Copies of this chain bind each other. A is one copy, B any other.
Amino acid sequence: MTPSEIMSPDIPPAIPKYEQAYRTILERLKAGRYPVGGRMPTEDELARYFKVSRVTIRRSLDMLVQDGYVERRQGSGYRVVTLSPVSDTCLTSFTDAMLRTGREPTSRLLQIENLPAGDPRFAELPSELAGQAVTCISRLRLVDGKAQMLVHTYAASDLLRDAQPQDFPETGPAQSILRILRSRFMLEWSAACEDISPVAANAVMAEIFDIDAGTPILKQACSAFGDTGKTVFFEEVFRTGSVSFNLSQQIRIPTHN
């Protein structure tokens, strides 16, 4: 009895069991079914419930642990840690993060621009994007009406063909640039790196963010790459405030010698 026989009576299996179980458990988690700080069902219980093997359900639980939602302890079981693990990278949806905490994110499209040859901004871009037509989308992100981030998204004009203002909603979940790049422009990426540096706010940003010129702010520069290693898009974010990360999944305890 093969997996696809079980899960898909017909054509479109596509969603692996571990992914289905992951999503279902996460939904329940967020719905408060397993209270924060409380115990979760055991691996065996979950495996029985989802009708999968223990290996498979463990894979789902691995993802939840890595996401930072739950933690596990041998002999003791799983406990819910938090419903909103922090992670403020360019690849996590700011929109979703705000919605999750009950705040109101909005966007203001400032400009859709084809960079003219010789534009000095090419110097800031990954070299791979240089030497071709590049489109830059500039948006201001606000929370409860207050400016929080200035975002420039760069990609080869080929990939953003016919980008129009109406492609960039200013409210609701659809305003997420990551979602737009995927749904509207069919971009996909599988790897990325980000660099965070401190800069002084210039006059323009000072006005946007309502701070003094020269105030230190953060600049996040993120490159996303496709399966073939080609740069898919580049994003530059200027933001006030700080960014946070959950590092738990990075800890490799050198207990073994």
- Listed in ascending order, the chain A residues whose CB lies under 8 Å from chain B are 14-16, 19, 55, 66, 71, 73, 81, 86-87, 89-92, 182, 188-200, 214-218, 222, 227, 241-251, 253-257
Contacts and interface: CB of A to CB of B under 8 A. Distances in A.
25 contacts: A14-B255, A14-B256, A19-B256, A55-B55, A66-B249, A81-B191, A86-B193, A92-B250, A188-B253, A189-B251, A191-B251, A192-B246, A193-B247, A195-B244, A195-B245, A196-B218, A196-B242, A196-B245, A197-B242, A198-B198, A198-B216, A200-B215, A216-B217, A222-B247, A245-B245
B227 A199 contact: no
A40 B252 CA distance: 23
A29 B89 CA distance: 28
A218 B197 contact: yes
A242 B194 CA distance: 10
Given A89-B245, A195-B242, 4 more contacts: A89-B247, A193-B245, A197-B218, A198-B217
Nearest to A79: B229
A127 to B, nearest CB: 17
